[in-house]
Structure 1
């Protein structure tokens, strides 16, 4: 199988930085196109009328966070060619799979928080979900990767 399109799933965590490093390095080695996805998770939306935060303002804040994070990663890893940016709104587990299929990705690269035990049971594992539901290979950068 050839890997011509690599989709890197990120968020604002340090775990995503490790995944981005691995994904960009792999794309360089394989001369593959890169897509970077930051899902705007509406479940994290904060609306507080007492503080004057409306739904529209909260949506804008979440989208700005996504754009800023992608921008930071792209500034750190420039010179690798055109990078396709995706900022869909929805649940990360659904949107990562959807964008990978729509874009025609050959591989998904993502990080993991490395939770275990009760923490993983209570919060679930996005990486585990993607591994189980993706129809393409998934590379997961471990939390302790150097």
Structure 2
């Protein structure tokens, strides 16, 4: 999806990692209030959380829970679409050239994928929110923003939630 000018032809390109968190909202607002320039295009990158699919169901007599899986997948897809639409609609209103990339983190961590996409797309900066985990939690949970900050080859703007 693109708006007005082509994403690939923009003078500056920003990779903006999005999810359904308040931290992403805050980062988006901060970016547009303090950083955005008119000759910049935005690459929205979304890695939807994996749905927790049931593998066994008492409701279906212990059989494969196809109906329950279909319901979970429908809700999962709607949530992912809503997140993507929220930010693309705002970019359309602002008349900012943009593109959306949806990634799957099965083979690599989300942080690794974001760094790889930044290199592939030759972006000039990465912008993302951070939930503000303490250092021990970042170490244990492998913070995406921490990984990107230490492995990206372009400037990284991380907006903390707090």
TM band (smaller chain): 0.7 to 0.9
The structure that is helix-richer by fraction is 1
Scaled by the length of structure 1, what TM-score is found? 0.79
Decide which structure has the larger Cα Rg and report it. 2
Report how many aligned residue pairs link the two structures: 138
**TM-aligned CA deviation for residue 129 of structure 1:** 0.4
**TM-aligned CA deviation for residue 12 of structure 1:** 0.7
CA–CA separation in structure 2 for the residues paired with 1:62 and 1:37: 17
TM-superposition CA deviations, 1:61-80 (whole Å, max 9, x none): 44432221021123344223
Which of residues 16, 23, 41 in structure 2 aligns to 1:8?
Answer: 16
Secondary structure, aligned partner of 1:141: strand
**TM-aligned CA deviation for residue 19 of structure 1:** 1.4
Report what 1:101 is aligned to.
119
CA–CA separation in structure 1 for the residues paired with 2:45 and 2:85: 12
**TM-aligned CA deviation for residue 113 of structure 1:** 0.6
> Kindly tell me: are residues 81 and 72 of structure 1, through their superposed partners in 2, closer, same or farther at Cα, counting changes over 3 Å?
same
Gaps of 5+ in 2: 1-10, 60-64
CA–CA separation in structure 1 for the residues paired with 2:114 and 2:75: 21
Report what 2:4 is aligned to.
none
CA–CA separation in structure 2 for the residues paired with 1:132 and 1:81: 28
Report what 2:51 is aligned to.
45
TM-superposition CA deviations, 1:104-130 (whole Å, max 9, x none): 211000010111144333222211100
Question: CA RMSD for the aligned pairs?
Answer: 2.3
Report what 2:100 is aligned to.
85
Gaps of 5+ in 1: none
Scaled by the length of structure 2, what TM-score is found? 0.73
Q: Does 1:75 align with 2:66?
A: no
